[in-house]
Structure 1
Amino acid sequence: MLSARNRLTGEVVELQTGDVTAEVTIDVNGETITAVITRESVENLEIEEEMELTAVVKATDVMVRSD
Protein backbone atom coordinates (compact mmCIF):
# COMPACT_ATOMS: atom_id res chain seq x y z
CA MET A 1 0.00 0.00 0.00
CA LEU A 2 1.23 3.49 -0.86
CA SER A 3 0.07 6.77 0.62
CA ALA A 4 0.87 8.72 -2.56
CA ARG A 5 -2.24 9.64 -4.53
CA ASN A 6 -0.57 10.89 -7.70
CA ARG A 7 -0.29 7.75 -9.80
CA LEU A 8 0.13 7.74 -13.56
CA THR A 9 -0.22 4.38 -15.31
CA GLY A 10 0.97 3.86 -18.84
CA GLU A 11 3.23 1.95 -21.20
CA VAL A 12 7.02 2.12 -21.31
CA VAL A 13 7.87 3.63 -24.70
CA GLU A 14 11.60 4.18 -24.20
CA LEU A 15 14.27 2.81 -21.88
CA GLN A 16 17.80 4.18 -21.87
CA THR A 17 20.23 2.61 -19.44
CA GLY A 18 23.63 3.92 -18.44
CA ASP A 19 26.29 2.61 -16.10
CA VAL A 20 24.50 3.78 -12.95
CA THR A 21 21.14 5.34 -13.90
CA ALA A 22 18.38 4.77 -16.41
CA GLU A 23 15.68 6.92 -18.02
CA VAL A 24 12.27 5.30 -18.24
CA THR A 25 9.77 7.10 -20.48
CA ILE A 26 6.11 6.19 -19.99
CA ASP A 27 3.23 7.11 -22.30
CA VAL A 28 0.23 8.11 -20.18
CA ASN A 29 -2.80 8.67 -22.41
CA GLY A 30 -0.73 10.33 -25.15
CA GLU A 31 1.48 12.36 -22.80
CA THR A 32 4.91 11.20 -21.68
CA ILE A 33 6.63 11.28 -18.32
CA THR A 34 10.29 10.36 -17.84
CA ALA A 35 11.70 9.01 -14.60
CA VAL A 36 15.40 8.78 -13.79
CA ILE A 37 16.01 5.74 -11.61
CA THR A 38 18.94 3.48 -10.86
CA ARG A 39 19.95 0.82 -13.34
CA GLU A 40 19.71 -1.67 -10.47
CA SER A 41 16.01 -0.75 -10.03
CA VAL A 42 15.38 -1.36 -13.74
CA GLU A 43 16.96 -4.79 -13.41
CA ASN A 44 15.17 -5.66 -10.13
CA LEU A 45 11.77 -4.61 -11.52
CA GLU A 46 12.56 -6.26 -14.88
CA ILE A 47 11.45 -3.11 -16.71
CA GLU A 48 11.34 -3.34 -20.49
CA GLU A 49 9.71 -1.46 -23.33
CA GLU A 50 5.98 -2.03 -23.92
CA MET A 51 5.31 -3.13 -20.34
CA GLU A 52 2.74 -1.33 -18.20
CA LEU A 53 4.13 0.70 -15.30
CA THR A 54 2.77 3.14 -12.78
CA ALA A 55 4.72 6.28 -11.99
CA VAL A 56 4.07 7.43 -8.43
CA VAL A 57 4.70 11.14 -7.86
CA LYS A 58 5.44 12.26 -4.33
CA ALA A 59 6.85 15.78 -4.12
CA THR A 60 6.89 18.68 -1.72
CA ASP A 61 6.57 21.18 -4.59
CA VAL A 62 4.48 20.94 -7.73
CA MET A 63 4.39 23.67 -10.33
CA VAL A 64 1.47 24.13 -12.70
CA ARG A 65 1.15 26.16 -15.87
CA SER A 66 -1.80 27.29 -17.90
CA ASP A 67 -1.39 26.99 -21.68
Structure 2
Amino acid sequence: MLSARNRLDGEVVDVKTGDVTAEVVLDVGGEEVAAVITRESAENLEIEEGMELTAVVKATDVMLRSD
Protein backbone atom coordinates (compact mmCIF):
# COMPACT_ATOMS: atom_id res chain seq x y z
CA MET A 1 0.00 0.00 0.00
CA LEU A 2 1.18 3.53 -0.78
CA SER A 3 0.30 6.81 0.84
CA ALA A 4 0.61 8.75 -2.43
CA ARG A 5 -2.74 9.90 -3.77
CA ASN A 6 -1.71 10.87 -7.29
CA ARG A 7 -1.98 7.59 -9.17
CA LEU A 8 -2.50 7.23 -12.90
CA ASP A 9 -3.44 3.83 -14.32
CA GLY A 10 -2.33 3.25 -17.89
CA GLU A 11 -0.98 0.95 -20.54
CA VAL A 12 2.67 0.91 -21.59
CA VAL A 13 2.89 2.13 -25.18
CA ASP A 14 6.67 2.56 -25.48
CA VAL A 15 9.85 1.60 -23.63
CA LYS A 16 13.23 3.05 -24.61
CA THR A 17 16.20 1.67 -22.75
CA GLY A 18 19.64 3.20 -22.56
CA ASP A 19 22.81 2.20 -20.77
CA VAL A 20 21.58 3.41 -17.37
CA THR A 21 17.97 4.58 -17.69
CA ALA A 22 14.71 3.59 -19.35
CA GLU A 23 11.93 5.88 -20.52
CA VAL A 24 8.51 4.29 -20.05
CA VAL A 25 5.53 5.92 -21.79
CA LEU A 26 2.01 5.17 -20.57
CA ASP A 27 -1.29 5.90 -22.26
CA VAL A 28 -3.51 7.29 -19.51
CA GLY A 29 -6.99 7.95 -20.84
CA GLY A 30 -5.70 9.00 -24.26
CA GLU A 31 -2.88 11.16 -22.88
CA GLU A 32 0.76 10.12 -22.67
CA VAL A 33 2.69 10.18 -19.42
CA ALA A 34 6.42 9.43 -19.46
CA ALA A 35 8.61 8.29 -16.60
CA VAL A 36 12.38 7.88 -16.54
CA ILE A 37 13.51 5.08 -14.26
CA THR A 38 16.68 3.04 -13.95
CA ARG A 39 17.20 0.36 -16.55
CA GLU A 40 17.66 -2.15 -13.74
CA SER A 41 14.21 -1.30 -12.34
CA ALA A 42 12.59 -1.66 -15.77
CA GLU A 43 14.23 -5.06 -16.17
CA ASN A 44 13.27 -6.18 -12.65
CA LEU A 45 9.64 -5.18 -13.29
CA GLU A 46 9.80 -6.84 -16.74
CA ILE A 47 8.15 -3.77 -18.29
CA GLU A 48 7.00 -4.25 -21.87
CA GLU A 49 4.50 -2.71 -24.29
CA GLY A 50 0.88 -3.59 -23.56
CA MET A 51 1.50 -4.04 -19.84
CA GLU A 52 -0.86 -2.30 -17.41
CA LEU A 53 1.00 -0.11 -14.89
CA THR A 54 0.22 2.60 -12.38
CA ALA A 55 2.29 5.80 -12.37
CA VAL A 56 2.59 7.21 -8.86
CA VAL A 57 3.35 10.94 -8.80
CA LYS A 58 4.93 12.46 -5.74
CA ALA A 59 6.02 16.05 -6.08
CA THR A 60 6.21 19.14 -3.97
CA ASP A 61 5.49 21.39 -6.96
CA VAL A 62 2.88 21.08 -9.67
CA MET A 63 2.77 23.50 -12.59
CA LEU A 64 -0.37 24.20 -14.61
CA ARG A 65 -0.67 25.94 -17.95
CA SER A 66 -3.67 27.24 -19.79
CA ASP A 67 -3.42 27.93 -23.53
Name the counterpart of 1:53. 53
State the superposition RMSD in angstroms. Answer: 0.6
Distance 2:49 2:20 in 1: 19
Runs of 4+ in 1 over 6 A off after TM superposition: none
Helix, strand or coil at the partner of 1:19:
coil
Helix, strand or coil at the partner of 2:40:
helix
TM-score with structure 2 length normalisation? Answer: 0.96
* Unmatched tracts of structure 1, length 5 or more: none
Equivalence map 1:5-24=2 (5 Å): 5-24=5-24
Question: Percent identity at matched positions?
Answer: 81
- Count, aligned residues: 67
